[in-house]
Amino acid sequence: MNLANYITLLRIVIIPFFPLIYLKYEFFKINVIWMPYILLAILLFCELTDLADGFIARKKNEVTDLGKVMDPMADSITNISVFFTFTQGWVNIPILLVFVFIYREFFISTLRTICALKGVALAARTSGKIKTFLQAVVGISIVGLLIPFTLGYLSLETLKWISVSLVAVAAAYSVLSAADYIYANWVHLKKFLFD
């Protein structure tokens, strides 16, 4: 463990507060007007720590195998937690869209593990980084939409329609990024899976 890994771990510890505040803001006596701002602060904190841990690890030359595993895991936990949260309450996105993200992460993680056990580290793809960024942007955008919604400037139907559309785009790109990952690493995957 080093500073960068502790920052990554902090992101994993903080994100459970997102569903707690979205779903139970009344229990915590949080005014509905303030709730989206708190959610936004949590997400921005997670995104800033995501940038910080990578920057610190490279700057201090402390890139570790643990960090290489924890960082994408923290990204997945953050984004999937946000989308799972939004299957409830006002936003109410279809849970099937969230399963796209989950299956993609499990599938790619399994391929990486199989190859790692055979001594081959599959390279990360730019499409995977774009996928993570897109999911973060969608999550932040939906929280942003909660601000005019809670103030009465945006209808529930419009909130749901925009939210579902944004998540559907992110889900479609997740599938494309998985296909890109498989295509780019097909030589290794074919060897280990079919030989």
The pLDDT tens digits for 85-112 are 999 999 999 999 999 999 998 888 888 7
**Residue 35 to residue 186: CA distance in whole angstroms:** 45
- Residue 109 CB burial class (10 angstroms; 0-12, 13-18, ≥19): middle
SS3 of the chain: CCHHHHHHHHHHHHCCHHHHHHHHCCCCCCCCCCHHHHHHHHHHHHHHHHHHHHHHHHHCCCCCHHHHHHHHHHHHHHHHHHHHHCCCCCCCCCHHHHHHHHHHHHHHHHHHHHHHHCCCCCCCCHHHHHHHHHHHHHHHHHHHHHHHHHCCCCCHHHHHHHHHHHHHHHHHHHHHHHHHHHHHCHHHHHHHHHC
Q: What is the share, in percent, of the chain residues with pLDDT greater than 70?
A: 97
- Residues of the domain holding 139: 3-194
**Residue 132 to residue 76: CA distance in whole angstroms:** 8
Taking CA atoms, 107 is separated from 101, 125, 174, 182, in Å, by 10, 15, 12, 10
- Mean pLDDT for the stretch of residues 23-41: 96
The pLDDT tens digits for 48-61 are 998 888 788 788 88
Position with higher pLDDT, 72 vs 18: 18
Number of structural domains, the chain?
A: 1
User: Is the per-residue pLDDT at 19 higher than 90?
Assistant: yes
Position with higher pLDDT, 193 vs 8: 8
CATH number of the structural domain spanning residue 185: 1.20.120.1760
